[in-house]
Amino acid sequence: MGKRYKEALARFDRQTYYPLDEALRLVQANATAKFDETIEAHFRLGIDPRHSDQQVRTTVMLPHGTGKQVRILAFVDEQFEESTLAAGADIIGTDEVIAKIRDGWLDFDVAIAMPPMMRKVGQIARILGPRGLMPNPKAGTVVQPADIERVIGELKAGRVEFRNDRTGNVHVPVGKASFAYDRLSENLQAVLDTVLAAKPESQKGAYIRRLTLSSTMGPGVRVEGMT
């Protein structure tokens, strides 16, 4: 552990569960790295990820955005390329771009695609899928032409996709440490409401077993009242 991390640990009891607002303030105060750390919410869910009907995958619109400039890669028909760039996309998914991705280039945050382009995107599904970058209808990233401008606007403004991992955990960014506390709090509440609304009908027992907040370089703070 580094000196800064040890100092952060000394400011609270890691085994204690704190009220949501106090936990968020602790995490924000402990985000003292030389860069603007991301504040993240980590949910331990009571789902069985082996069952297809207990998957949690959806999107949340953060009221105050992520604090990150989102780079969007768009796979669209040639006739829509110009309008898609005008709507705010950063890169068009050409054959040359697909070749670059095969060679390891992944300098983008979100990929969207029109339905006819999914066959082409399928060529790199094994690369995009494990990294959470594969366009998917459930995530709202397989897009009809009429919706391109709206979806790009939402992604730039702070729409975040999340899904459970193979151990039943969900990890969601809620903003930057430099945000005003009220903005972070509103973003976090939006995330919490969305996770609760995404509870699978077949899931039994405690749904949120634990919520821990942390910053990129800081220790996690447990939140009380989640079970």
Boundary-marking domain end, from 157, 172, 195: 157
In whole angstroms, give the CA distance from residue 100 to residue 81: 19
Residues 23 and 97 both lie in one domain:
no
Residue 191 identity: V
Report the pLDDT value the prediction gives residue 95, as an integer from 0 to 100: 94
- Quick one: which of 18, 19, 56, 25 has its CA closest to 39? 25
Report the pLDDT value the prediction gives residue 103, as an integer from 0 to 100: 95
Residues 37 and 94 both lie in one domain:
no
Q: The domain containing residue 179 runs over which residues?
A: 13-66+159-223
Assess contact for 12 and 198: CB atoms under 8 A: no
Boundary-marking domain end, from 124, 157, 190: 157
Q: Pairing state of beta strands 159-163 and 57-61?
A: antiparallel
Residue 4 lies in a domain: no
Residues 133 and 190 both lie in one domain:
no
Residue 105 identity: W
Q: What is the DSSP string of 112-146?
A: EE-GGGHHHHGGGHHHHGGGT-S--GGGT-B--GG
Report the pLDDT value the prediction gives residue 227, as an integer from 0 to 100: 63
Report the pLDDT value the prediction gives residue 132, as an integer from 0 to 100: 87
- Its pTM stands at 0.85
Beta partners for residue 40, in sequence order = 173, 214
pLDDT along the chain (227 residues), means of 10: 82 92 95 94 95 93 93 96 96 96 95 96 94 90 95 93 93 96 97 96 93 94 87
How many residues does the structure list for the chain? 227
Report the pLDDT value the prediction gives residue 169, as an integer from 0 to 100: 96
Residues 51 and 109 both lie in one domain:
no
- Name the domain count of the chain: 2
Report the pLDDT value the prediction gives residue 53, as an integer from 0 to 100: 94
Radius of gyration of the chain (CA): 19
- CATH number at 146 reads 3.40.50.790
Report the pLDDT value the prediction gives residue 202, as an integer from 0 to 100: 92
Residues 153 and 195 both lie in one domain:
no
> Which residues are CB-contacts of 39 (< 8 A; sequence separation ≥ 6)?
24, 27, 28, 31, 173, 174, 175, 176, 177, 179, 184, 188, 213, 214, 215
- CATH number at 201 reads 3.30.190.20
